[in-house]
Structure formats: C-alpha cells, structure tokens
Amino acid sequence: MTLGTFSSARSLLILAARAVIFGFLAVPPSDGKGGVRSMLDFDAATKRFGSLTALDRCTFTARPGRLTGFLGPNGAGKTTAMRAVFGLVELDAGTVRWHGVPVSAKERARFGYMPEERGLYPRMRVRDQLVYLGRLCGRGPRDVARSVDAWLERLGLAARGADRLDALSHGNQQRVQLIAALVGEPDLLVLDEPFSGLDPIAMDAMTGLLAELAFGGATVLFSSHQLDLVQDLCEDVVIIEHGRIVLAGELAELRAKVPQRIVDIRYRGQAPDWSEIAAVTLIEDQGGRARLRVGHDTDAAALLGTVRARAEIVSFAYQPPTLSELFRQAVAA
C-alpha cells in the first residue's frame, strides 16, 4: 500500500496531457513514409582541440520514437558532440552512425538542428527564410512551402510570415528558430538547450512538441540543464563529463539499478528522531518534510508503519533517486 509517488503522478499527468494534445493536433508535416526510423549511434567518438580532449571515446545511442536527454555540466562536450553529428566538428577518431551508416551529407538532409547560439538572418522575412532553409535540405519548393505554412500556423505565426525576423518578439523568434530545425521534416532532431530562455508557457509548448515528434517516430536528442524537466520528459538519458560518457541508458532502468531508494515524508507536528529507525540515513529534515536514504531492498510498507508510529504522516513517497541525484553522483565520481 503506497500513498502514491509524487513524481510519477506528475509524469502521468504530463502523459495524459500529451494524449489530449495528440487528439486535437496531428503533427502537420506527416512524413508519409511511416516506416522504420533509425537510431543515432556514437561510436568511440573522439575530438581534441589542441591539448584539450573535448570528446573522449564517446559511445551512446539515441533511439527512434524516444526523447533522449543529453546532460552534462557546462563545457562537458555536449555542443561538440552535437556539432559532430552535423560535421561541424571533424572527429579525430570514432564515428557517428545513422542507421548503421556513417553520417554523410545524404543522411544529414534528414536531420534537424537547433544550435545553442540561436541565429537566423535578422533582416530576412520569416517565411522566405524558412522556405530557404527547407530547400537547403533538398526538398522541392512546393513541398517546403506547404510544411512551412503548416508550422507557422501551428505555432501561431501565420500572420507574421511576411515580417522581417527582427520585427518579431524574442519568444516568436525562438519559435521561428524551432521551425528552422523542423522544416526539413527531420527523422533526427538535435536540439542544443532548447529550453533556455523560454517562459513556462513556451516551455510547456516545447515539451509537448518534442514528445509529439518522438511519438511520431522521430529520434530526438536534446541537451538541457533542467534535470526535473528531463526526468519527466525523457525515456533515455546520456550524461557526459569532461568529454566522457559517464552514464547512458533508459532512465527508469538507471534509476532502478541504483542500490538506494529515497523516502520523502511530509508530516505534521514534532519531528521524530530519525536516528532511532534502523537502516535509514537522514538526508535532510526541514521540519514538516524529511528526506531519507534507504537500501533498495527496504520493505516500504514496514518502513511506513515504523514512521507512522512516531509521526502524523501527510504523505509518504518511496522511490529511486531522482535524475538530479543520479546526475550529481555521476558527475562527482
């Protein structure tokens, strides 16, 4: 008998919201292929800048139909790795493969990229600009125009197509930048910090969109520092530190594999003496809310009974460590 875990409830909510969104909004640029989309493989990718090793035998996989969160402290090598996918950085060793084939210009035509440093032609009209970028992916003019119009409509910019980019607000410019990445109807979407600088509403729209694209079968790899968001959004995570991959795989599996569990308790009244309870390590007690660390084989029901005997419990959550905790451990190691 669990009282429900706070975090998984939030995930469920987001999933439900997504399902509703999908019901109303079909992904406008339907691929038409609908066939098997493939995965992105980093295979021992290595890049050195002089004496600095930016990527050190990086090996990981981003799978289709899933969101992969690419995490790491500033300067860990995220941007370099993403640039390597697009040949913007030439690898010294190792390869990046798409569908098992080393990535070349032909494969890149089906990729979409949003660089960390945003930028488009400030004086060019929004629609012209997007059509131009779409055509650089090798698609025909009518095809591109149709998908640009669909995306402008979808993101509420249909009336701004004839305006110069620099006439748009910052938020709208961000939307145009996103369309620039999507206009080639990519099978692989690589986004460098897509959430930076977004307000909460825009952030929700972005998470909904990314989830939707993955749902449509695309492979989505994005970097972020917002670990809670990544935890809610991503099926897979990759953590990089000093150019080395320190953790990679399915988030749920990674969390389950950790031999500790976190117990999050809210209570009323006097704080109990946590040290009296066996096999429990107190992380923090803010008075009314306490976080404990226990072994992964702890009987949650028995622990709940023990705690109940000492305090009036409002909520009780027994769960694996959060992504933030995983991240801190992995990066500190």
Partner 1 sequence: MNGVRQGWLVARREMRERSRSRAFLISLALMAVIVAAMLVVPALLSSGGGTRNIGLAGSAPPALAATIAGQAEAAGITARVHHYANLADGEQAVRQGRADVLVAGAQRLEWPGRADQQLKAVVTGAIQLVTVRERAAAAGISPGAAASLLAPVPVTSIELGHVAGRSPADETAVTVMTLVLFFCISIFGSMVLTGVLEEKASRVVEVLLARIPARALLAGKIAGIGLLGLAQIGVTALAALVAVAAVPSIHLPAVRGAVLAWAVVWFVLGYALYATVYGALGSLGSRVEDAQSVAGPVMVILPVAYFASFVMIAQPASAAARAISYFPLTAPMAMPGRIAMGAAAWWEPVAAAIFTLATTAALVLLAGRLYTSAILHTGPRLSLKDAWHTTTGPGPGATGAGAHATQTWPRTARAATGGRTTMTRTDLSSHRLLITILTGAGIALGIAIAVLTSDVILGVIAGAGFIAVALQMVRLWTGHPGPPAVHN
Q: Which is nearer to partner 1, 188 or 237 (CB)?
A: 188
Interface region with partner 1, contact rule CB under 8 A, candidates 31-39, 110-118, 208-216, 302-310: 110-118
Residue whose pair of structure tokens reads 């066939």 in the numeric block: 35
Using CB under 8 A, pick the residue from 90, 273, 284, 297 that binds partner 1. Answer: 90
Q: Which two tokens stand for residue 99?
A: 């569908």
330 touches partner 1 (CB under 8 A): no
Using CB under 8 A, pick the residue from 3, 137, 150, 168 that binds partner 1. Answer: 137
In sequence order, what are the beta bridge partners of 191?
114, 222
Could you say which DSSP state residue 297 is in? Answer: T
22 touches partner 1 (CB under 8 A): no
* Parallel, antiparallel or unpaired: strands 289-295 and 281-285: antiparallel
| Interaction residues for partner 1, span 153-182 (CB under 8 A) | 180
Q: Which two tokens stand for residue 246?
A: 């320190």
Q: Which is nearer to partner 1, 104 or 270 (CB)?
A: 104
* Parallel, antiparallel or unpaired: strands 40-49 and 52-62: antiparallel
Cα 69 from Cα 255, distance rounded (Å): 14
Strand order in the sheet with 93-98: 52-62, 40-49, 93-98, 101-102
Q: Which is nearer to partner 1, 13 or 52 (CB)?
A: 52
117 touches partner 1 (CB under 8 A): yes
- 285 neighbors 269 (Cβ within 8 angstroms): no
What track of x and - describes contact with partner 1 for positions 36 through 65 (by CB under 8 A)?
------------xxxxx-x-----------
* Chain positions contacting partner 1, by CB under 8 A: 48-52, 54, 74-75, 79-80, 83, 86-90, 92, 105, 108-109, 111, 113, 115, 117-124, 128, 132-133, 135-138, 180, 184
